[in-house]
Amino acid sequence: MFNELSPRKRAILKAVVDAYIESGDPVGSKTLTQGRQFGLSSATIRNEMAELESLGYLEQPHTSAGRVPSESGYRFYVDSLMKEYALNAGELAELNSMLKAKTAELDKLIQNAGRVMANLTNYTAIAVKQSEGRDTVTRFSVTPVDDRNFLLVMICSDRSAKTRFIHTENPVEEEGLKLLEQALNNFIAGRDLGTVTLPYLMQMERSLGRYGNLVSPVMKFIYDALGQTEERDVRIDGVEKLLEYPEFLDAGKLKDVLGMFDRKNELLGLLESADDDVNICIGRENGVEALEGSSLVFKKIIVNGRAVGAVGVLGPCRMDYSKVVSAIRYLSKGIEHAMNTEEKGGQLSSGDSDDRKGEKA
């Protein structure tokens, strides 16, 4: 559907999104003609906007009002129309002040990152720190007990052995247990569990064919045995900033979002299944009911090839995506630099921002 848009429609859609992000008011054809960026009549622009609405990129909240971007319109904007935002001197100074801090302790960097992102973007910031020094399993062994029970043995990196007796609801053939043992050793053995993402587990499930339903319960036992379930620190900064946007003034909507902050596993699930680049999740793309009508933009922090945390912001769908993406990429790159090298400053030049188009999670 994206290829249906002519250059003129693209320019008008970009102008509508930019204007709506800035003002929060529905955008009419008169607003675009006043900007003198189009050499078109108000009637022509109005017709183009009507076509964009029929294609699903714009919506009209009221018959007498202008139009606003739909979720599809925002998605097309961040993927194809958004211009790179150049951080100004003041913004760079605020970011570099944090990155030049003498501490290279990850928890301090993550804590400060959330505070800085909330101040810089005026959105609610989310910062996640993974625990450090976790055991890995070097070898798995699966031994059948009967057709509904088997013993899982895990030989850990510290040479200790952990065992779990696992019961299945349905009978499992010995062939399935052999395939499970093979998959665990191929996909999980020797791997930091912090790097095991949802797409990776889905790949593991596919490799097991009709026995793929064993992966989820077995991985839960593995996480529990290694003490992984409660070792992630989620920090929320700038919750009060939600009240600055009309989208969150509805008491029910605000209650849903605040409740999700308490149920941090929903946020962690989004972060774990994401790409390593900046992820932009718009409205229903989040897959979390409480975040419908909101956008979440975040990036994992990768140190020595391992995801050690993440930093991002939550705000309305009419978020200033360009500025947010630039700030998140710059800040996360600075933290990675500080943690990956012996140089503690982590200060970057403005050219290191290297913004690219937003990516869907």
pLDDT tens column, 168-184: 888 989 999 999 999 99
Q: Which amino acid is at 111?
A: Q
In terms of domains, do 351 and 250 share one?
yes
In terms of domains, do 98 and 210 share one?
no
d(CA 318, CA 315): 8
In terms of domains, do 260 and 344 share one?
yes
Farthest-apart Cα atoms in the chain, separation: 78
**Percentage of the chain surpassing pLDDT 70?**
86
DSSP string, 84-123: PP---HHHHHHHHHHHT-S---HHHHHHHHHHHHHHHHSS
What per-residue confidence (pLDDT) applies to 264? 74
**Percentage of the chain surpassing pLDDT 90?**
45
Supply the range of the domain harboring residue 56: 2-81
pLDDT tens column, 265-316: 777 777 766 788 999 999 999 888 888 889 999 999 888 777 788 899 999 9
d(CA 209, CA 199): 16
Q: For residue 88, which phi and psi values (nearest 5 degrees)?
A: -85, 175
What per-residue confidence (pLDDT) applies to 52? 96
What per-residue confidence (pLDDT) applies to 109? 80
Q: How many domains does the chain have?
A: 3
pLDDT tens column, 222-280: 887 775 444 567 889 999 999 999 999 888 888 888 888 887 777 777 776 678 899 99
d(CA 226, CA 230): 11
| Band (141; pLDDT cuts 50, 70, 90) | very high
Using an 8 Å Cβ cutoff, are 221 and 332 in contact?
Answer: no
What per-residue confidence (pLDDT) applies to 296? 95
In terms of domains, do 159 and 216 share one?
yes
- Whichever domain contains 57, its CATH number is 1.10.10.10
- Whichever domain contains 208, its CATH number is 3.30.390.60
